[in-house]
């Protein structure tokens, strides 16, 4: 598996918010360099293309029937470290237990095997319900946003 440089790893958390704010790739790389976490341009552009294609995959995931597994064309291959073969990302909408404030947040589920979307969502519901002190949210809606997989070894 490809090793990620320290600056590249640190920059990953900034890329999606920068893309959503409308940064161009040149502006984003310039900002990262200004912050002292710039890295090789070709690697940055690979990461940027991966991030910029993500919204299209997320929009298409909602059209996959829940009785099917996520199709391979919607599974993102990532250089990020994953503890298991797959990471299923979910969006959870609901309200904060303490304040009643609306919440729109994300949680992830690590798996070695993929099953159908219905089973993945059921497993995520169970995981959130099993830890009510850690996940203090009254869930109104939960849906699969995307799936990532490890890059194949070189």
Say whether pLDDT at 38 is over 80. Answer: yes
Give me 41's structure tokens.
């341009």
pLDDT of residue 7: 81
Q: What is the pLDDT of residues 90-109, one digit of tens each?
A: 999 999 888 989 988 889 99
Q: Taking Cα atoms as reference points, which of 59, 66, 70, 60 lies closest to residue 125?
A: 66
**Are 102 and 139 members of one domain?**
yes
Whether residue 48 is contained in a domain is answered as yes
**Are 19 and 47 members of one domain?**
yes
Whether residue 21 is contained in a domain is answered as yes
**Are 118 and 145 members of one domain?**
yes
Whether residue 15 is contained in a domain is answered as yes
Say whether pLDDT at 140 is over 70. Answer: yes
Whether residue 65 is contained in a domain is answered as no
pLDDT of residue 102: 92
**Are 42 and 106 members of one domain?**
no
Q: Are 54 and 16 in contact (CB under 8 A)?
A: yes
**Are 100 and 128 members of one domain?**
yes
pLDDT of residue 55: 65
- Please give the Cα distance from 125 to 106 (Å, whole number): 13
**Mean pLDDT, residues 106-126:** 94
**Exposed/middle/buried for 2, CB within 10 Å: 0-12, 13-18, 19+?**
exposed
**Are 78 and 128 members of one domain?**
yes
**Mean pLDDT, residues 25-32:** 92
- Using the 8-state DSSP alphabet, how is residue 64 labeled? S
Whether residue 111 is contained in a domain is answered as yes
Whether residue 66 is contained in a domain is answered as no
**Are 11 and 49 members of one domain?**
yes
pLDDT-based confidence at residue 1 (cuts at 50, 70, 90): very low
Looking at every residue in the chain, the average pLDDT score rounds to 87
Whether residue 24 is contained in a domain is answered as yes
Q: What is the pLDDT of residues 44-102, one digit of tens each?
A: 988 888 888 766 677 788 899 999 999 998 898 887 788 999 999 999 999 988 898 99
pLDDT of residue 118: 96
pLDDT of residue 147: 93
Give me 138's structure tokens.
């009254």
Q: 125 in helix, strand or coil?
A: helix
Instruction: Give the percent of the chain with pLDDT over 90.
Output: 40
Range of the domain at 109: 72-150
Q: In sequence order, what DSSP letters do the residues of 66-111 get, joined into one string?
A: TTSPPPGGGEEEESS--SSSEEEEEEEEEEETTT--EEEEEEEEEE
Q: What sign does the dihedral 1-109-54-65 (CA atoms) show?
A: positive
Q: In sequence order, what DSSP letters do the residues of 10-54 get, joined into one string?
A: HHHHHHHHHHHTT--HHHHHHHHHHTT----HHHHHHHHHHHHHH
**Are 45 and 78 members of one domain?**
no
Whether residue 60 is contained in a domain is answered as no
**Are 36 and 93 members of one domain?**
no
């Amino acid at each position: 598996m490809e090793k990620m440089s320290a600056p590249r790893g640190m920059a990953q958390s900034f890329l999606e918010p920068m893309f959503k704010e409308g940064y161009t790739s040149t502006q984003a790389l310039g900002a990262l360099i200004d912050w002292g976490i710039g890295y090789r341009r070709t690697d940055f552009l690979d990461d940027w293309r991966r991030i910029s294609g993500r919204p299209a995959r997320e929009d298409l995931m909602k059209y996959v029937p829940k009785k099917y597994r996520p199709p391979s064309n919607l599974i993102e291959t990532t250089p990020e470290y994953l503890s298991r073969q797959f990471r299923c990302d979910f969006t959870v909408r609901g309200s904060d237990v303490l304040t009643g404030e609306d919440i729109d947040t994300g949680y992830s589920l690590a798996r070695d095997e993929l099953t159908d979307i219905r089973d993945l969502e059921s497993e995520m519901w169970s995981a959130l319900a099993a830890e009510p002190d850690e996940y203090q949210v009254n869930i109104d809606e939960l849906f699969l946003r995307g799936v990532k997989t490890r890059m194949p070894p070189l």
